């Protein structure tokens, strides 16, 4: 089996769309959560989100192309281009059929849906834009990535809500490890900040009115976000042969289903995915130094995730550094796992543990080392990035320092 | 314990409003939890009735639709709700609590 490494990272995020800006905001716990400004808010109760504010589509696409891409596809293509550039990768005619593209996504082209339904129901228009379906379909983003970069190998979308990005990178890891692909572009994208989707989230009563405070006693719910992250995965041999920079090695991938509640996270299901990832990585709990947690900032998730970490790591949980990036990035659903995997790879690369932002007060129910507010220089040999989705679908990756 | 202003206000509401509201609350909870309405009293607690979090948000939605009000309920603070334009929070545990919250929000909407 091949060893698999991360050689390129591309992000479009609420804290910037270059790796330097992304990483420095994570390390400095500078939150990308702010007042909603990309939407009319008069019918919303929610006033905050983690929006991508510096994204100008015309800088990336000519007018004809832009019209074909919903915002979630634009994010994916821009992140994928950046990852390929970062990896100094040339997707030649020879390598294109051996290159895979896997994109995680939860909600599809919600901006296109919202616009067309507003015309239909709101303005009573008899027709919607003819390109609504090719913009909206949940596979549009991965199709646009493959078209834009000339990727001709295995390509598909993975939809597992908040775990989509992690599932996509995990599947890409397996394709490269087993030799079904030599190179893979993998990650997640989400652009779900529309009046319609936010109203639906409000109805679930899980959104914070304040900000996202993972693992803090004062946490008050999750904050929606948007963005994309794509990484380049390739065999270690392929990367070495072409002298590519290596951020980190992916060692293992674990998955599980809770077969329980449609909303609530289950400690056993989450712990099983973590254990499966450790087994797949042929490593031990005591060898993991850092966990980038799911940490949504809801009362339930953070309490149960703490229990799950203890179940998976046993006594080694005491020496773990655990942080959630969602205080900085918000929760971008299908993109979240990919953005967090990128953060974990950068943590291994820089040997710095990014903190849990907006942390105010320890919670007796969340009694691990959550690296509150201040980054930590620490040797990180191996790290874990975990996602636990609505519907009980869990995905966990284990990585090592390159 | 001394009565707060709000308690006094609630107690002086028309008795028929009071009954109508609590019966509507009982009926919505009865449908959602599949419990005969006769078994639901003002002292019945949602958690003791076996309501899970999805049941509770459906009950909240049912009350909002029935009375055309917005209940500022957050699943993370499920035992209390903060009343807008009011000084405090109100309990949200028993059927009686919920009826009080609905009454208060109807009053607030009517500008009373």
Closest residue by Cα to residue B11 from B94, B96, B88: B96
Question: Which two tokens mark A205?
Answer: 């009563």
At B60, give phi and psi (nearest 5°). -60, -45
CB A102 within 8 A of CB A184: yes
Query: Percentage helix, strand, coil, to 5, in chain B?
Result: 55, 5, 40
Q: What is the ipTM of this complex?
A: 0.73
Contact present, A227 and A335 (Cβ < 8 Å): yes
Domains of chain B by start residue, with CATH: 5-109 (1.10.1200.10)
Phi, psi of A385 (to 5 degrees): -125, 125
**Are A269 and A258 spatial neighbours (Cβ–Cβ below 8 Å)?**
yes
CATH annotation of A4-241: 3.40.47.10
Of A167, A192, A212, A331, which residue is the catalytic one? A331
Q: Are A194 and A114 in contact (CB under 8 A)?
A: yes
Helix (H, G, I), strand (E, B) or coil at A151: coil
User: In the structure, what pLDDT confidence band is assigned to residue B5 with cuts at 50, 70 and 90?
Assistant: very low
Contacts of residues A34-37 at CB distance under 8 Å and 24 or more positions apart, as own/partner, are A36/A193
Q: For residue range A139-189, list pLDDT tens digits in order.
A: 999 999 999 999 999 999 999 999 999 999 999 999 999 999 999 999 999
Q: Please, what is the Cα angle at A389 between A383 and A391, to 5 degrees?
A: 150
> A264 to chain B: which residues are within 8 Å by CB?
53
**A45 with B70: Cβ contact below 8 A:** yes
Domains of chain A, by residue range, sit at 4-241, 253-401
| Class level of CATH domain A253-401 | alpha beta
Burial of A361 (0-12, 13-18, 19+ CB in 10 A): exposed
Choosing among B55, B74, B77, B84, which should be mutated to test the A contact, i.e. which has the most A CBs within 10 A?
Answer: B74
Instruction: Provide the shortest C-alpha distance from residue B72 to chain A (in Å).
Output: 9
A91-149 tens-digit pLDDT: 999 999 999 999 999 999 999 999 999 999 999 999 999 999 999 999 999 999 999 99
Chain A interface, mutation test: which of B62, B76, B78, most A Cβ atoms within 10 Å?
Answer: B76
**Å between A337 CA and nearest CA of chain B:** 23
Closest approach of chain B CAs to the CA of A300, in angstroms?
8
Give A237-270 pLDDT, tens digit per residue. Answer: 999 999 999 999 999 999 999 999 898 899 999 9
User: With contacts defined as CB-CB under 8 Å, which chain B residues touch A207?
Assistant: 74
In the three-class reduction of DSSP (H, G, I as helix; E, B as strand; rest coil), residue A95 is classed as coil
In the prediction, which pLDDT does B12 show? 46
């Amino acid at each position: 089996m091949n060893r698999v490494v991360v050689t390129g990272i591309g992000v479009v995020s609420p804290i910037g769309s270059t790796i330097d800006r992304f990483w420095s905001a994570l390390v400095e716990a500078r939150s990308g959560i702010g007042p909603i400004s990309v939407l009319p808010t008069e019918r919303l109760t929610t006033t905050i989100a983690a929006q991508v504010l510096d994204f100008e589509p015309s800088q990336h696409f000519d007018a004809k192309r832009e019209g074909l891409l919903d915002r979630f596809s634009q994010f994916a293509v821009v992140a994928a281009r950046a990852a390929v550039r970062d990896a100094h990768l040339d997707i030649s005619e020879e390598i294109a059929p051996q290159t895979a593209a896997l994109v995680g996504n939860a909600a599809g082209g919600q901006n296109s849906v919202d616009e067309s339904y507003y015309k239909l129901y709101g303005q009573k228009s008899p027709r919607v834009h003819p390109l609504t379906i090719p913009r909206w379909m949940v596979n549009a983003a991965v199709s646009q990535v493959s078209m834009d970069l000339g990727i001709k190998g295995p390509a598909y979308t993975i939809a597992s809500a908040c775990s989509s990005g992690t599932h996509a990178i995990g599947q890409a890891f397996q394709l490269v490890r087993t030799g079904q692909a030599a190179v893979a572009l993998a990650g997640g994208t989400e652009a779900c900040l529309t009046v319609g989707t936010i109203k639906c989230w409000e109805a679930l009563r899980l959104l914070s009115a304040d900000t996202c405070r993972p693992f803090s006693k004062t946490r008050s719910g999750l904050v929606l976000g948007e963005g994309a992250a794509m990484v380049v995965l390739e065999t270690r041999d392929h990367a070495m042969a072409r002298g590519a920079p290596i951020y980190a090695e992916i060692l293992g991938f674990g998955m599980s289903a809770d077969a329980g509640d449609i909303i609530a996270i289950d400690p056993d299901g989450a712990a099983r995915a973590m254990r499966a990832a450790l087994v797949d990585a042929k490593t031990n709990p005591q060898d993991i130094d850092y966990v980038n947690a799911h940490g949504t900032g809801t009362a339930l998730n953070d309490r149960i995730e703490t229990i799950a970490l203890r179940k998976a790591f046993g006594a080694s949980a005491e020496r773990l550094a655990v942080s959630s990036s969602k205080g900085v990035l918000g929760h971008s659903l299908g993109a979240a796992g990919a953005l967090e995997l990128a953060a974990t790879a950068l943590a291994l690369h820089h040997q710095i543990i990014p903190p849990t932002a907006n942390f105010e007060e320890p919670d007796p129910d969340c009694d691990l080392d959550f690296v509150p507010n201040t980054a930590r220089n620490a040797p990180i040999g191996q790290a874990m990035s975990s996602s636990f989705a609505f519907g009980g679908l869990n995905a966990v990756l284990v990585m090592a320092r390159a | 314990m001394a009565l707060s202003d709000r308690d006094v206000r609630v107690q002086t509401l028309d008795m028929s409003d009071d009954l109508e509201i609590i019966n509507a609350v009982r009926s919505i909870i009865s449908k959602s939890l599949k419990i005969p309405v006769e078994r639901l009293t003002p002292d019945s607690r949602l958690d003791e009735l076996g309501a899970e979090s999805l049941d509770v948000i459906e009950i909240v939605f049912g009350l909002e639709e029935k009375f055309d009000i917005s209940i500022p309920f957050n699943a993370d603070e499920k035992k209390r709700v903060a009343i807008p334009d009011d000084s405090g929070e109100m309990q949200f545990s028993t059927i009686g609590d919920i009826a009080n919250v609905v009454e208060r929000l109807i009053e607030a909407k009517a500008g009373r």
